[in-house]
Chains A and B, each alone.
Chain A
């Protein structure tokens, strides 16, 4: 019985896919001007670290007390919208689209895969939240989109290292280790 369970488990335990390129913006703004910039972007910027907001296909993640990551389809005209309120709500909005790549990690054993190199208790992470954390020594942002569905933003230069670790952990889990 254990053997058959293990076999089913390994069959489609983990999927690792590359997400399509996206627009990524780093927003820094003081709390007093947060709502004004949020309104300009059409987002209700969350105030608590780890919380996300979504409007259409634009997502915002609160990374720190004055720092947000905005993810949107390529070409979304967000910079123009923010520029329009700059005089009244000074902020910094930097295009970091090409700094990172995004991996989509899913499957019933995805928590085991991530636990191989991430020290956070990801089982306790709320679905619909996200966090900047570490994967081995690389800084990554993990978005939990479903109980067994994560996105991982990795700096491009760390991606080969992270990919090789993920492949190794995936192989070990598939082998039942």
Chain B
């Protein structure tokens, strides 16, 4: 079974305790009314659809927390996980190994 490291529980736990929650680091517009239709469409629907490392959100049922992960969409390997609200982690060689 795939083990996912929860940054809040500080433990690697079975994937069945986790739920995928979409791409990470998509900030809700501060003033939605000011957006054009195209900008609103991009915010709601347009995603990177990465082949390879992908920034995404997951939720752990154990602690009830959302967190961020970089997962390789080809190998399904989790390269790293970090707490919600932290800035986007750079793709270091260490993480990509």
Contact = CB atoms under 8 A, between A and B. Distances in A.
B65 A139 contact: no
Contacts, number: 42
Given A50-B9, A119-B1, A64 B64 contact: yes
Interface of A: 48-50, 63-65, 67, 119-120, 131-134, 139
Interface string B1-34: 1000000111101111100000000000000000
Chain B's interface size range is 10 to 19
A139 B8 contact: no
B14 A139 contact: no
Interface of B: 1, 8-11, 13-17, 61-65
Contact of B17 (A50, A63, A133): A133
Contacts of A120: 13-14, 17
A82 to B, nearest CB: 20
Contacts of B65: 64-65
Contact of A133 (B15, B62, B64): B62
B61 A133 contact: yes
8 contacts: A49-B62, A49-B63, A63-B64, A65-B65, A67-B63, A119-B1, A131-B62, A133-B62
A49 B16 contact: no
Nearest to B65: A64
B14 A119 contact: yes
